[in-house]
Each structure stands twice: as structure tokens, then as C-alpha cells.
Amino acid sequence: MTPEELSRTALRALRRAVDAGELTAPVPDRAHIERPRPGGTGDYATNLALRIAREAGAPPLRIAEILAARLSAEPGIARTDVTGPGFLSITLYDDGGAGLVQRIRDSGERYGHISPDTGALAHLHTPHDLRALVVADATRRLLRSQGVLVRLTCAAAPAKAWQDVLGVRVDGHGEPPVPLTTLRPVPAPHTPDPLALGRDAARWALLHPAPHDRPRTGGEHLAQRESNPLFRVRYAHARTRALTRNAADLGFTAAPGPVGPPAHAAADAHATAEPHTDAPAQGTPAQSAPVQEDTAHPLLSALGDHPAVLATAAHRHAPDRLTRHLVRTADAFLAQAHTVLPLGDEKPSAAHRARLALAEAAGTVLAGGLSLLGISAPEYL
């Protein structure tokens, strides 16, 4: 269950409580869902009870208890606890990540998108500035992913090179007759010229820093090395595609299932396992030390957060949030990519098929995220 699905589930529980006469409160458009903070419990937390307490005319704890009972009865939710002054801590049933991976497979690159359109409208306006237009263009893509219809205008017609190289488009230009939502990130330096980087690297250079930070537009964005975040994201995507091809050569395909713990947990388990007194027979691979399923798998966590990241980046007009999320997702995948394929004489197992499905899901999220930024996701790199 994704944060967006949990938000809808929480609102449905509140609506049913209101319909049943247990509460009297307006139902908001959205319930804020987040990961528990350090020391917290469960998979997700929400402050919905605190948020509506004043309108409901009831103590937050009482509201939280009513909502907790209804949420605990929802499919996919194992337990809902009330913590602090009225926070709800939600624990999901652990399917080893199979459900999340399957949802991504079903949705494809539209995972995290809202469909059909919500009917909401937005009008973005920018000064005649290259970075502002690129940020607005990515923001429009993000808002569209959340079902919002967007009109984008600029104070003056964009330069032809901006359109040809970076792919920015506007629906009109000129000063608007009424105040609009105007995006004004810190402009990019004129030298080095961002256009010299080409579309992908230039858009990343202008989108990755926060709007209040001055972007760098040098050749570091073209470097094929680990220190370049854009390279890591695009390399991670290409690596997921390579793993699919390599698995096909070995005669197996992806199948969602429990993926096991992260690579570092497996290594720790091997290091701390009781030593065997007998060496395995020649030609027989040694048995792996048993490890417990780890629901805090960093890649699963990143993939699960993707819909919430899209929603937040769109709502706050902040595509830099998506760029940082893609780097996090890429790094989490690359840390465990070496566990996907069998090693030596090892035969493909259900765990390998599940890890391949997880890798493919990561590739799907990376490709979809790059597309929303207007950046290509190569199959080979």
C-alpha cells in the first residue's frame, strides 16, 4: 500500500465514522502520510486526528481511537496504534515487497500518477529566464502526473535555442493582467552556458539544486563517474535493463516475491553465523546462512515513497525533490544489484526472480521519474 493509497484509506475511514455519527467533522481533501520519525513505530504515521480536532470539537485522542479501530479493519493494514497526543501509527501486512513490486509492474512508468484528472487547474508564470522556464516545465509535468491541468506562460517569448535544446514550451507570453503563481528560482550563470551541456545534463543541472540555490552549469554534469548524481541515476536504470537481459540468457525471468534482506544485512548474517566444522562436498555450493526478512529494505522504502514524492514535488512546485529521490532510489538499487543474478554454479531460485522483479521495478521508477524531469533514460550506458 502506497502513501497515496493510505491517504485515501484514512479519509475513507474518517468519512465512514462521520456517516455513522461517531464524529462530526469535515473530511479534508488529503491526509498527510509520512514515514515514522526516529523512535517511532509502524510503517507509516498520520496526524489526521490532530488536524481535524478543532472542527470535530473532540479531543484528538478520542478521534484517533475511532479512526484506529476503522483503519485496523482495512485490507492490507495489520495494526493501527495511537501514539503521543493523537498520532496514528499504521503497520502494514508484510508481503516481502511483492505487492509493491506488482503494483509498479501493473502501473509501469505511471506508478504514482493520479488518473483520471482531478479537475484542478493551475496557471504557472515565469520571468524571461532559462532556469525558471525549465523548473516550470518540470513542474507542469509533475502537476499533470497528479491529475492537474496546467497552463504555463512566460513574461516574453522563450528563445528558440531554449525550445530546441531544452524542450521548453509555453502556452502564451506577456505580462498577465492579474497576479499569478510565478516561479522565480535563482537564475543560472551565463557562463558556462547551460545549453552547451545538451538537453539531459542541462535540465538536470538546472533542476537538481533547490530553487534558492545557484546552479552549477559546468562539465561535471557530463562526467561518467560516481560523483555525478545524474550519471548514477541513468547508470542505475541501464543496469536494471542489463540485469533483465542477463537473466534471460540464464533462462529465468522476474516474479514478484519476498526479496530477502538488503545486501548489507545478508553480509552481516554471513559474518555472524556459526562456523561450519565440515566443508561442503566438492562441487556442492555452500548453504547460505538463514536471514530474516527485513521490512526496512532501503530500495523497497524508496520505491514505496515514490507516489508521495511526486505529490509533494507537484504541490510545492519543487522538481528538485524528485531529483533527490531518484538519486536515493538509484543508490539503494546499486547497493544490492550484485545480489540479483546467481553466482558460480548457483541455480536461479525464487529469491533471484524476486530480486530481478525488484530491480525491474526500480528501473521503471527511475525511467518514469526522469521522464517527468524531461530527461531520457538510456537502455545502455
**Residue-wise pLDDT tens digits, 262-311:** 544 444 444 433 333 333 333 333 333 333 333 347 898 899 889 889 98
The answer, yes or no, to whether residue 149 has pLDDT greater than 80, is yes
Q: Which residues face 126 on adjacent strands?
A: 154
Pairing outcome for strands 87-92 and 149-154: unpaired
- For residue 145, pLDDT over 50 is answered with yes
**Is the pLDDT assigned to residue 234 strictly greater than 60?**
yes
**How much is the pLDDT for 284?**
32
- What is the spatial distance between Cα 362 and Cα 189, in angstroms, rounded to a whole number? 34
Dihedral Cα 113, 307, 144, 238, nearest 10 deg: -80
The pLDDT, as a whole number, for residue 203 is: 98
Tens-digit pLDDT profile for residues 158-191? 999 999 999 999 999 998 888 888 999 999 998 9
**pTM exceeds cut of 0.95:** no
Q: Is the pLDDT of residue 204 over 90?
A: yes
> Looking at residue 224, what is its pLDDT?
95
For 25, list phi and psi in degrees, rounded to 5.
Answer: -165, 150
The per-residue pLDDT for 99 is 85
pLDDT of 261: 59
Domain 3-92: give its CATH code.
3.30.1360.70
Whether pLDDT at 85 is above 60:
yes
pLDDT on residue 38: 73
Domain ranges of the chain: 3-92, 121-196
DSSP category for residue 196 = G
- Angle value at C-alpha 375, between 373 and 379, nearest 5 degrees: 135
Residue pair 47/89 in contact (Cβ under 8 Å)? The answer is no
Average pLDDT in the chain? 87
User: Residue 260 has what pLDDT?
Assistant: 63
Please give the average per-residue pLDDT across 97-101, as a whole number. Answer: 87
Q: Which residues pair with 92 in a beta bridge?
A: 77
Residues 304 and 5 sit within 8 Å (Cβ to Cβ): no
